[in-house]
Structure 1
Amino acid sequence: MGRRIDYYDDPNAPQANSLVPSVNVVVTNDAGEILMIRRTDNDNWALPGGAIDLGESVSQAAVRETKEETGIDVEITGLVGIYSDPKHVIHYTSNDEVRQEFSILLTALPMDGEPRTSDESREVRWVAAAEATDRKMDRSMRLRIGHYRAQRGLPIIT
Structure 2
Amino acid sequence: MARRDYEDDPNAPEPNSLVPAASVVVVDATGRVLLQRRTDNGMWALPGGKMELGESLADCGVRETREETGIDVEITGIVGTYTNPGHVFAYDDGEVRQEFSVCLLGRPVGGTLRVSDESSEVAWFSPEEVDGLPMLPSIRKRINDWKSGAIPAIR
Question: TM-score with structure 2 length normalisation?
Answer: 0.95
Answering whether residue 80 of structure 2 is matched by residue 77 of structure 1, we say no
**How much does 1:37 deviate?**
0.3
Answering whether residue 55 of structure 2 is matched by residue 56 of structure 1, we say yes
**How much does 1:155 deviate?**
4.5
Give the alignment's Cα RMSD to 1 decimal.
Answer: 1.2
1:127-156 per-residue CA deviation (whole Å, 9 max, x = no partner) reads 11122131111111111111111101x343
Q: Is residue 147–residue 156 contact of structure 1 (8 Å, CA) maintained in 2?
A: no
- SS of the residue corresponding to residue 7 of structure 1 reads strand
Of 96-105 and 61-70, the range deviating more from structure 2: 96-105
Structure 2 counterpart of 1:150:
148
Structure 1 counterpart of 2:43:
44
Structure 2 counterpart of 1:68:
67
Q: How many corresponding residue pairs?
A: 155
1: CA distance, partners of 2:101 / 2:31: 23
Answering whether residue 89 of structure 2 is matched by residue 97 of structure 1, we say no
Structure 1 counterpart of 2:105:
107
1:76-125 per-residue CA deviation (whole Å, 9 max, x = no partner) reads 00001110111211212x21211113111000000001111111111110
1: CA distance, partners of 2:7 / 2:71: 31
Q: Is residue 27–residue 34 contact of structure 1 (8 Å, CA) maintained in 2?
A: yes
Q: Is residue 36–residue 46 contact of structure 1 (8 Å, CA) maintained in 2?
A: yes
Percent of paired sites with the same residue? 54
Structure 1 counterpart of 2:14:
15
Structure 1, unaligned runs of 5 or more: none
Q: Is residue 145–residue 152 contact of structure 2 (8 Å, CA) maintained in 1?
A: no
Structure 1 counterpart of 2:4:
5
Question: TM-score with structure 1 length normalisation?
Answer: 0.93
Write the letter of the residue equivalent to 2:154: I
